[in-house]
Amino acid sequence: MGYYVNIRCSKCRYSFTDGYARKGVSSNLGFPIIVCPNCKTPNLTGKKIWSQMTTSERRQYFLSRVKQTLINALPLFIIVFIVIGKFIGSNISNEGYGILILSGLIAILISSFISFINSWYMINKIEKKYREGDTESVTI
């Protein structure tokens, strides 16, 4: 699940994404202004850094992460289900619901942990670049 975007400079049409790039679930976290490396024009991104978000914007960011976590947990759920099934044996049908629930919980916990670490890293990285005034090395 995702969408394709081609984000361009408002003045010279320079592509910040090198053409259409696949993105995951949309997020409102990001650098608010990106300076075009081609013509040096500042471009608004419609995103905000964490410290400038309102409560509702933070909630929107949190919900986008929950959605992405659930999407990421699905393939992991299948893998965990197969691995647990191999350890228990071929008689999965007797304990089917327990294994499904256990696999789902493990997949969601692992996916949530990875999502939390990634979000924490991105928030800190964006805040640091914003404080340093680094608007040219920001990736979208």
Closest by CA position to 129, among listed 61, 37, 33, 44: 33
**135 located within any domain:** no
**57 located within any domain:** yes
**105 located within any domain:** yes
Q: What domain range includes position 62?
A: 3-130
pLDDT band at 54 (very low <50, low <70, confident <90, very high): very high
**113 located within any domain:** yes
**Reported pTM:** 0.66
pLDDT band at 139 (very low <50, low <70, confident <90, very high): low
pLDDT of residue 140: 54
Tell me if residue 4 falls in helix, strand or coil. Answer: strand
pLDDT of residue 106: 85
pLDDT of residue 56: 93
**135, 47 in Cβ contact below 8 A?**
no
**53, 32 in Cβ contact below 8 A?**
no
Query: Could you give the number of structural domains in the chain?
Result: 1
**41 located within any domain:** yes
